[in-house]
Structure 1
Amino acid sequence: MTTTLPRPSLDVRRADERFTTEISWLDSKHSFSFGRHHDPANTHHGLLLVNNDDVVRPGFGFDTHPHRDMEIVTWVMQGSLVHQDSTGHNGVIYPGLAQRMSAGTGILHSEKNDSWRLAGDVHDEPVHFVQMWVVPDESGITPGYEQLEIDGELLSGGLVTVASGMPAHADAAAIRIGNRYAALHAARLRPGQSVELPEAPFLHLFVPRGAVALEGAGALGTGDAVRFTATGGQRVTATEPAEILVWEMHAAIAA
């Protein structure tokens, strides 16, 4: 991990430029190298290694699999995702619920779109979620899990700190992550509403749904992302109902 100051830049990545994994039950778009998709020039930005935009069909999901030494934040846009892990945590993640899993020394977990029926009422919608991985600043920690509902805070239309390990956000973050140089913010914006991005050595802006205009760069649509280096302070304005996810990072993975 390094805190060396980089040169200023702004790199727009369009939705259709992402790696794609499509199978019968999964439509997954990868902002960075992931699985069988590898590009040595596109492995991470700042501390962010994974930004996967997933849609899972009803009744399917990811079977039990391992992780180690990674901070994993899951953000659901539509539907619900059932989580179970080897530390005994289980629950349902839904829109407006912040969830973090610290893999640490090693953890097994599964994530499923469990359709269910009650009194003849069938709930079988796809689940759409974004899963993001950042490296921890300390390896070998005890695995952990945390979740908290922040739907009410998102109604403000401003940037809400979803997850952070930064001391500056000690009282503002919904959930904690094991990296003191990183924070995730989210905003739900109505047309005409805008927010100002934080300033940091590294920022990653992702638009999982809707459309916005970024000051100095123009229109961004669903699935578009921007990688900022040594900049920030630009305004993001919704041109239709939209949601944005912003990683603020004050260090990077050492080359």
Structure 2
Amino acid sequence: MIEIRKATDRGVAEHGWLSSRHTFSFANYFDPEQAGFSDLLVINDDRVAAGRGFGRHPHRDMEIFSYVLEGALEHRDSMGTGSTIVPGDVQLMSAGTGVAHSEYNPSSTDPVHFLQIWILPSEAALGAPPRYQQMHVGEQEKQGNLRLMLSPDGADGSLTLRQDARVYSAKLDGDQTASLSLPAERYAYVHVASGEVTLNGVKLVAGDGAKLRDETALTLTEGKAAEVLVFDLRARETPQMR
């Protein structure tokens, strides 16, 4: 079964310097039917004006994943990490026992467009030390291919996620096809970051998402400058906050 979450149905937050679209309930946006999916709690599609950003603020026991689509994002945190990520970079911050961070657009002229994604850690990982990981994924690695970016065991050079979940990224154009088998008792979530794509025969556009239950595979075809994130998740309906 595929349940579509249309881009136009997402929560909207306009703050002048920040334009955000919330796939799931977040901050002042609340929809009891959209309280996350499996262990996936937040997908925020953020556009931040030049020279602006999110000031230093704390998190605890959360896996926070940032994925830049356009522009650059400057990260600073209480672990002493400092980095600027651009398209192709993958950033994962495991908050663990507690970490404070800021995310800032260092450009004086251009906005930054990025996805901020939260995944709940496993119960066994609660209270673990905070950590930061980053890598770069070349465009050719994602072109017509689902490139593993996050996994619980760091497989295929991916970053290590403190949860039984895997996150893939793909770019598709024309007749390119990318597929992923879904074992029994697994769910999946697909988020179209940009462009257009067809998922198992269903057309999706930028900002659309899809919950997959009881599907044996997902297949992405008919891409038009498409960039897609795919989440392989435990078979549970909503995140269980602890």
Query: What is the TM-score when the length of structure 2 is the normalising length?
Result: 0.92
The aligned residue for residue 224 of structure 1 is 208
SS class of match (2:224)? coil
SS class of match (1:154)? helix
Report the AA paired with residue 230 of structure 2.
Answer: V
Identity of aligned residues (%): 37
- Kindly state the Cα deviation for residue 88 of structure 1 after the two structures are TM-superposed: 0.2
Of residues 199-208 and 16-25 in structure 1, the stretch that sits farther from structure 2 once superposed is: 199-208
Q: What are the equivalent positions in structure 2 for 1:8-27 lying under 5 Å apart?
A: 9-27=1-19
Say if 2:89 is the partner of 1:104: no
Flag the 1:83–1:164 CA change in 2: closer, same or farther, 3 A: same
- How far, CA to CA, are the matches of 2:227 and 2:192 in structure 1? 6
Decide whether the 8 Å contact of 1:203 with 1:232 is kept in 2: no
Report the AA paired with residue 16 of structure 1.
Answer: T
The aligned residue for residue 233 of structure 1 is 217
Flag the 1:174–1:140 CA change in 2: closer, same or farther, 3 A: same
CA deviation vs aligned residue, 1:173-193 (integer Å, no higher than 9, x gap): 4211111x1010000112221
Report the AA paired with residue 157 of structure 1.
Answer: G
Q: Find the partner of 2:197 among 204, 212, 215.
A: 212
> What is the Cα-based RMSD across aligned positions, in Å?
1.6
- How far, CA to CA, are the matches of 1:176 and 1:191 in structure 2? 32
- How far, CA to CA, are the matches of 2:116 and 2:216 in structure 1? 23
- How far, CA to CA, are the matches of 1:156 and 1:61 in structure 2? 30
Q: What are the equivalent positions in structure 2 for 1:66-81 lying under 5 Å apart?
A: 66-81=58-73
Say if 2:188 is the partner of 1:203: yes
Q: Find the partner of 2:20 among 2, 25, 28.
A: 28
- Kindly state the Cα deviation for residue 213 of structure 1 after the two structures are TM-superposed: 1.2
Q: What are the equivalent positions in structure 2 for 1:137-216 lying under 5 Å apart?
A: 137=122, 138-165=125-152, 167=153, 170-179=154-163, 181-200=164-183, 201-216=186-201
What 5-or-longer segments of structure 2 have no aligned partner? none
The aligned residue for residue 4 of structure 1 is none
Runs of 4+ in 1 over 2 A off after TM superposition: 152-157, 250-255
- Kindly state the Cα deviation for residue 251 of structure 1 after the two structures are TM-superposed: 4.5
What 5-or-longer segments of structure 1 have no aligned partner? 1-8, 117-123
- How far, CA to CA, are the matches of 1:251 and 1:178 in structure 2? 17
- How far, CA to CA, are the matches of 1:140 and 1:250 in structure 2? 21
The alignment covers a number of residue pairs equal to 235
